[in-house]
């Protein structure tokens, strides 16, 4: 379940449209937003590493299936499972929603 000190999952991420998030630029390459599993008023967040395929970008309002490595954080113990949704944030600003499809076992 952990990979290089992190927890690897396959997930669907959906960026909110610009009108809802304020984000105007696409994400591409390496994207490292905050991930909030515990609600909009909770400031306990973890870092997640999203590596988009070469040449691929995701515009506000679009979604993509990706692998994400979350920093291994004690509060995530038992909190990651298929179907679990969470908030993708830049600072305190909500920019997307993620849904775990599968928790992956490292090779």
Which has the closest alpha carbon to 103: 73, 68, 74, 72? 68
> In this model, does residue 1 exceed pLDDT 50?
no
* Structural domain count, the chain: 1
We report the CATH number of the domain holding residue 26 as: 2.40.30.10
pLDDT of residue 72: 73
Cα 59–Cα 65–Cα 67 angle in degrees, nearest 5? 115
Q: Tens of pLDDT along 32-65? A: 999 998 877 777 788 899 989 899 999 999 999 9
pTM to 2 decimal places:
0.86
Q: Domain range holding 77?
A: 2-103
Residue 2's pLDDT band, with cuts at 50, 70 and 90, is: very low
Residue 107's pLDDT band, with cuts at 50, 70 and 90, is very low
């Amino acid at each position: 379940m952990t990979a290089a000190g992190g927890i690897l999952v396959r997930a669907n991420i959906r960026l909110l449209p610009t009108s809802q998030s304020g984000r105007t630029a696409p994400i591409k390459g390496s994207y490292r937003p905050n991930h909030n599993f515990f609600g909009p008023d909770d400031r306990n967040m973890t870092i997640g590493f999203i590596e988009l395929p070469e040449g691929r970008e995701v515009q506000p309002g679009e979604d993509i299936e990706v692998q994400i490595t979350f920093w291994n954080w004690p509060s995530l113990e038992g909190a990651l499972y298929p179907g679990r949704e969470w908030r993708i944030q830049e600072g305190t600003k909500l920019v997307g929603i993620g849904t775990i499809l599968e928790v992956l076992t490292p090779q």
